[in-house]
Structure 1
Amino acid sequence: MTGLRHAPRGTARWDVVTTAREPAPLIAAFVAHHLALGASRIHLYLDAPDPEIEALLAPVREVRMTFADARFHRHAYGGRRSPRLNRRQRLNAQHAYRRSEADWLLHLDADEFVMVADLDAQLAELPPEIGWLRLVNGERAYLKGARPRGLFDGVMLLPSDNGGLPRWMRRGLFSGQGGLRPEGLLGHARGKSAVRCGQALSMGVHSPRVKSDLGEAVSGEVAICHFDGLTPAHWQGKLLRYAAAEGHATQIGAAGSRQRVLQLQAFAALGGNATAARALHDRLRCLTDVQLELRQARGLVRDIPFDPTEAARARFADAGYAYSAEEFDRCLMPERQSAVGV
Structure 2
Amino acid sequence: MRWGLVATVRASTGAVLDFVAHHVELGAHRIYVYLDEPDPATFALLKAHPKVRVTTCDDAYWAKHPRRPKKHQVRQSANATHAYRRAEVDWLAHIDVDEFLCPQTPLTDQLAALPDTAGCARLYPAEALAGDGTAFKLTKRFPRERAASAERLYPVHGKYLNGGFLSHVEGKLFARTGLCDVMFRIHNLFEGDIKNPGEAALDDTVLCHCHAQNWEAFMASYRFRLERGSYRADLAPMRKDRVDGLTLHQLLMSIEQRDGAQGLRAFYDELCADTPDHRQRLDEQGLLFLCDLQLERSRRKQFSTY
Q: Deviation digits for residues 80-136 of structure 1, max 9, x if unmatched?
A: x22212111110000000111211111110000001151111112222211011111
Alignment of 1:108-123 (within 5 A): 108-116=95-103, 118-123=106-111
Q: Does structure 2 retain, via aligned residues, the 8 Å contact 1:136–1:190?
A: yes
Q: Deviation digits for residues 146-203 of structure 1, max 9, x if unmatched?
A: xx45xxx241101124623796x65440123364431232211111111011102221
Residue 261 (structure 1) aligned with residue 249 (structure 2): yes
Q: Which residue of 2 aligns with 1:157?
A: 137
CA distance in 2, matches of 1:115, 1:170: 23
Q: Which residue of 2 aligns with 1:340?
A: none
Q: Which residue of 2 aligns with 1:303?
A: 290
Match of 1:238 among 217, 221, 227: 221
Q: Which residue of 2 aligns with 1:127?
A: 115
Q: How many residues align?
A: 294
Q: Does structure 1 retain, via aligned residues, the 8 Å contact 2:5–2:93?
A: yes
Q: Does structure 2 retain, via aligned residues, the 8 Å contact 1:239–1:264?
A: no
Q: Which residue of 2 aligns with 1:314?
A: 301
Q: Which residue of 2 aligns with 1:41?
A: 30
Q: Does structure 1 retain, via aligned residues, the 8 Å contact 2:129–2:213?
A: no
List structure 1 segments (4+ residues) > 6 angstroms apart after TM superposition: none
Deviation at 1:230, TM superposition (A): 4.0
Q: Does structure 1 retain, via aligned residues, the 8 Å contact 2:147–2:162?
A: no
Mean Cα deviation higher: 30-39 or 306-315: 306-315
State the identity %. 29
Q: Which residue of 2 aligns with 1:25?
A: 14
Deviation at 1:242, TM superposition (A): 2.9
Structure 1: which 5+ residue stretches go unaligned? 1-11, 143-147, 320-342
Alignment of 1:131-210 (within 5 A): 131-142=119-130, 148=131, 153-160=133-140, 161=142, 163-164=144-145, 170-177=150-157, 179-200=159-180, 201-209=182-190, 210=193
Q: Does structure 1 retain, via aligned residues, the 8 Å contact 2:189–2:195?
A: no
Q: Which residue of 1 aligns with 2:209?
A: 226
Match of 1:65 among 54, 60, 73: 54
CA distance in 2, matches of 1:289, 1:177: 20
Deviation at 1:50, TM superposition (A): 2.1
- Secondary structure of the structure 1 residue equivalent to 2:119: strand
CA distance in 2, matches of 1:69, 1:266: 38
Taking a change above 3 Å as real, the CA distance of residues 222 and 125 of structure 1, as seen in their structure-2 partners, is closer
CA distance in 2, matches of 1:254, 1:189: 13
Please provide the CA RMSD for this pair: 3.0
CA distance in 2, matches of 1:53, 1:108: 19
What is the TM-score with the length of structure 2 in the denominator? 0.84
Structure 2: which 5+ residue stretches go unaligned? 241-245
Taking a change above 3 Å as real, the CA distance of residues 216 and 278 of structure 1, as seen in their structure-2 partners, is same
- Secondary structure of the structure 1 residue equivalent to 2:233: coil
